[in-house]
Structure 1
Amino acid sequence: MLSEQARPRQGGTILKVFIFFYFSSVGLFLPYLPLVFRGMGLTSWQIGILFSLGPLVTVAVQPLWGYISDRFKTVKRIIIGQLTVITSLSLFVFHISSFELLLSAIFLFNVFCFPIIPLTDSLTLATASKAGRHYGKFRLWGSLGFALSALLFGFFFRSHGLEAFSLCYFILLFLCLIISFFLGDASYIGRKANASDIKQLLTNRRIIVFLLLTALLSSSNRANDSFMGIFIRQMGGGSEIVGYAWTVAALSEVPVMIICGSLFARFSELRLLSAAALVFFIRWALFFTVTDPRLVVPIQLVHGVSFGLLFLCSVSYITRMVPDRLRSSGQGLLSAFIGGIAGIVGSTLGGVIMSSLGPRYLYASCAAIALAAFFFYLHLDRVASRSVK
Structure 2
Amino acid sequence: MSSTFNLKAFLFFYYSAMTVIVSYLPVYFQDIGLTGAQIGVLLAVGPLASMLSQPFWGYMTDKYKTSKKIIIICIIGAFLGSLFMFQTYSYYFLIIAVFIFHGFLSPVGGLGDSLTQKTANRLSLSFGSIRLWGSLGFAVMSLLMGFLLARIGVQYIFLPFLFFLSVTFILTLRIQDVETSKVPVALKDATKLLKNKKFMYFLLIMMFITITHRANDSFLGIYIVDKGGTESFIGWAWFIGVVAEAIIFATATYWFRKYHALTFITIAGILFAVRWIVMGLIVNPLLVLPLQMLHGFSFGVFYLCAFHYVTKIIPEELQSTGHLLFYSFFFGLSGMLGSSIGGVIIDETSVSYLYLILGIFAIIGAIFIAVYQVLFFKVKNKKVLQVQ
Please report the TM-score for the alignment, with normalisation by the length of structure 2.
Answer: 0.95
Match of 1:180 in 2: 172
- 2:318 is aligned, of 293, 318, 326, to 326
Once the two structures are overlaid, the 10-residue window that deviates more, 376-385 or 323-332, is 376-385
1:213 and 1:311 map into 2 onto residues whose CA distance is 14
Deviation at 1:231, TM superposition (A): 1.1
- 2:36 is aligned with 1:44: yes
Contact 1:119 1:332 (8 Å CA) reproduced: yes
Match of 1:189 in 2: 181
1:341-384 residue CA offsets vs partner (Å, 9 max, x unmatched): 11111001001101111112201110000111121122222234
Match of 2:368 in 1: 376
- 1:224 is aligned, of 210, 213, 216, to 216
Contact 2:248 2:297 (8 Å CA) reproduced: yes
Match of 1:108 in 2: 100
- 2:145 is aligned with 1:153: yes
Match of 2:112 in 1: 120
Deviation at 1:174, TM superposition (A): 0.6
1:88-140 residue CA offsets vs partner (Å, 9 max, x unmatched): 33234223111011111111111111111111111111111111101100110
Once the two structures are overlaid, the 10-residue window that deviates more, 152-161 or 85-94, is 85-94
- 2:327 is aligned with 1:335: yes
Contact 2:81 2:100 (8 Å CA) reproduced: no
1:132-155 residue CA offsets vs partner (Å, 9 max, x unmatched): 101100110011100110100101
RMSD of Structure 2 on Structure 1 (CA): 1.5
Alignment-mate amino acid for residue 349 of structure 2: L
Contact 1:92 1:166 (8 Å CA) reproduced: no
1:32 and 1:369 map into 2 onto residues whose CA distance is 25
Once the two structures are overlaid, the 10-residue window that deviates more, 111-120 or 376-385, is 376-385
- Count of aligned pairs between the two proteins: 381
2:329 and 2:87 map into 1 onto residues whose CA distance is 30
- 2:19 is aligned with 1:27: yes
Query: Could you list the runs of 5+ residues in structure 1 that have no partner in the other structure?
Result: 1-5
Alignment-mate amino acid for residue 362 of structure 2: A
Q: Output aligned runs, 1:61-140, within 5 Å.
A: 61-140=53-132
Contact 2:110 2:324 (8 Å CA) reproduced: yes
1:234 and 1:200 map into 2 onto residues whose CA distance is 46
Contact 2:199 2:314 (8 Å CA) reproduced: no
User: SS of the counterpart of 2:266?
Assistant: helix
- 1:360 is aligned, of 352, 363, 368, to 352
Segments of 4+ in structure 1 off by > 3 A?
Answer: none
Match of 1:3 in 2: none
1:237 and 1:73 map into 2 onto residues whose CA distance is 47
Deviation at 1:261, TM superposition (A): 2.8
Alignment-mate amino acid for residue 253 of structure 1: E
Match of 2:386 in 1: none
User: SS of the counterpart of 2:148?
Assistant: helix
1:126 and 1:278 map into 2 onto residues whose CA distance is 30
1:161 and 1:189 map into 2 onto residues whose CA distance is 48
1:10-47 residue CA offsets vs partner (Å, 9 max, x unmatched): 2x111000000111111122111111110000111111
1:69-91 residue CA offsets vs partner (Å, 9 max, x unmatched): 10010110011111112223323
